[in-house]
Amino acid sequence: MYALAAVPAILLGAPLLALLWRLPWTDLTDALTSEAATSALGLSLVTSVIATGLCVVFGLPLAWALAVGRGMPTRVVRAFCLLPIVLPPVVGGVALLLAFGRRGLVGQWFDGAGVQLPFTTAGVVLAQAFVALPFFVLSVEAALRQLDEEFAEVAQVHGASPFRAFTAVTLPSIGPAIAAGAVLAWARALGEFGATVTFAGSLQGRTQTLPLAVYDLLERDPADAVVLSALLVVIAVAVLVALRDRWFSIFRSAEP
């Protein structure tokens, strides 16, 4: 069993070790302060934070609706919510183009109002929010399903409105889940590549995020690409360590 377990361990660990092995330790500062790196890092941080904010604002009501809802309509909505997790990101980008492109299902109305989303910074935010939203929704929904509803009911018995009970009792109780879901969504938004490059392109300073910069530098400057890749790995490891076993409870509590 140990010998068989070593095979996937090597499969998962060897690429990361190879990344550290090829990391140009003496040129780290120059690589991280290059124009392409700083531009991509700054854009990634801004867009991923905005996308995370959108996930929190709109994902919280959706998570509540999925937690309290029953029946086939709720299952259908949950299936659509889970879809970006299993959908190839490039396919998600194509779907975004068909929906929010200049001639898309919804995008034609935006274009008529003078608002363009594809190949803009706003398009980057939209693509990141599209792939990150399920992680936040599942985290909060799992916490809501595990929450004891008696506390909110007691608050309503003592005169609190349902909205007041939700904001004063329920939200503080699921605060850790909201924070964990936000961190998961941020990490996913920061590392998004496929949907972003398909829907927003890779224009330096405008739509080229950190993962896109890695792909672009891989041909022109492989050493800098390795440094930026290592930076993304460090961020991912930090998120994994911070959240620990949080995602196990998320997916275990989600209704199939």
53: domain CATH number is 1.10.3720.10
* Domain range for 167: 30-253
- pLDDT tens for the chain, 256 residues: list them: 899 999 999 998 898 888 888 888 777 778 788 888 889 989 999 999 999 999 999 999 999 889 888 888 888 988 888 889 888 999 999 999 999 988 888 888 887 788 888 999 999 999 999 999 999 998 898 888 877 665 555 555 555 566 666 766 777 788 888 988 998 899 999 999 999 999 998 888 899 999 999 998 888 888 888 888 888 888 888 887 777 655 555 555 444 4
The reply to whether 201 falls in a domain is yes
Number of structural domains (the chain) is 1
The reply to whether 22 falls in a domain is no
The reply to whether 118 falls in a domain is yes
Are residues 162 and 84 in contact, defined by beta-carbon separation less than 8 angstroms?
no
The reply to whether 11 falls in a domain is no
For residue 184, report the phi and psi dihedrals to the nearest 5 degrees. Answer: -60, -45
Q: In terms of C-beta density within 10 A (0-12 exposed, 13-18 middle, 19 or more buried), how is residue 57 classed?
A: exposed
Are residues 117 and 135 in contact, defined by beta-carbon separation less than 8 angstroms?
no
Q: Record the pTM.
A: 0.85
The reply to whether 73 falls in a domain is yes
The reply to whether 21 falls in a domain is no
Long-range contacts of 102-108 (CB under 8 A, 24+ apart): none
Q: Which residue has the tokens 């034609």?
A: 108
Are residues 223 and 24 in contact, defined by beta-carbon separation less than 8 angstroms?
yes
Residue closest to 119 by CA, chosen among 207, 30, 241: 207
The two three-digit tokens of residue 147, written as one number:
């929450």
The reply to whether 3 falls in a domain is no
